Structure 1
């Protein structure tokens, strides 16, 4: 039997390749709204970050989140993302 390959994604904070299930997906929909996709099925452009505040803050500081979505992201959206990561 063939073993199924685990899909990996790169964290925008630390830059490490990790299994998709270990990362949190941040998604931008067609209207330009940015939110966390807990299921991983929402339509739109996605970026992945580890389940830690350190990685999110690194991604914010280096503007990797903004580059991956090609738009300016307001501080209140970052605050909401931080809050959702802390609650998980």
Structure 2
């Protein structure tokens, strides 16, 4: 994946990233944003609420976990970060 992400950036393209809407998926997406300048795709609060309403997802019951890297940093994938 790292080579693909690097090739995408070198070609001047944007890497759109999608993962599960659980804490692990959010951490993975945050890492992709940080490491590869990826843009979250369909990772907004609205997309998550729609998936819940349509039965395509289940509410997360897990406790929040700190993002990878600096434990004091904020994850860049907030509801406003992208679709």
Structure-2-length-normalised TM-score: 0.32
Comparing both structures, which one devotes a greater share of its residues to strand? Answer: 1
